Amino acid sequence: MSWEKDETGITFYCDTPDCNSVLTVPPGTDFISCWKDANARIGWVSFKRAGRPWDYFCPRCAADAATAHREYNRQEQERERIKARNSY
Ligand SMILES: [Zn+2]
C-alpha cells in the first residue's frame, strides 16, 4: 500500500525498496488535493502499471522511478507488438 489515511492525515510511502521516505499531509483535505500539493510543491511522483495499483515515489527517487517506468512502458509496447505480430 502506497498511501494511508487516518486521523493524523494522509501518509504517502515511497515505493522504492529500501527507501523509507514518508510524507504526511495534515487532515482536512481530500486525497486529490493532498496529492496535487505533494506532487507540485514537494516533488513526489506516481506511476501506474497495467493491472497494478499506483506506485508513489519521493523526490529523491523520482528520477530513477521515471526512468524505470519509461523502460517498463517500452518493454510493454514491445511485448504488445510481438503479440500482435504473432496473432496473424
Ligand atoms: Zn524514495
Question: Containing H/E element for 49?
Answer: none
pTM of the model: 0.83
Distance 84 CA to ligand 1 centre (A): 36
pLDDT at 1 > cutoff 60? no
Max intra-chain CA distance, the chain:
55
Distance 1 CA to ligand 1 centre (A): 14
Tens of pLDDT along 34-86?
899 899 999 999 999 989 999 999 999 999 999 999 999 999 999 999 999 99
Mean pLDDT for all residues in the chain: 92
Q: Three-class SS of residue 3? A: strand
Distance 20 CA to ligand 1 centre (A): 7
CA distance 67 to 82: 23
Tens of pLDDT along 19-44?
999 999 887 778 888 899 899 999 99
**66, 67, 68 from 71: Cα distances, Å:** 9, 6, 5
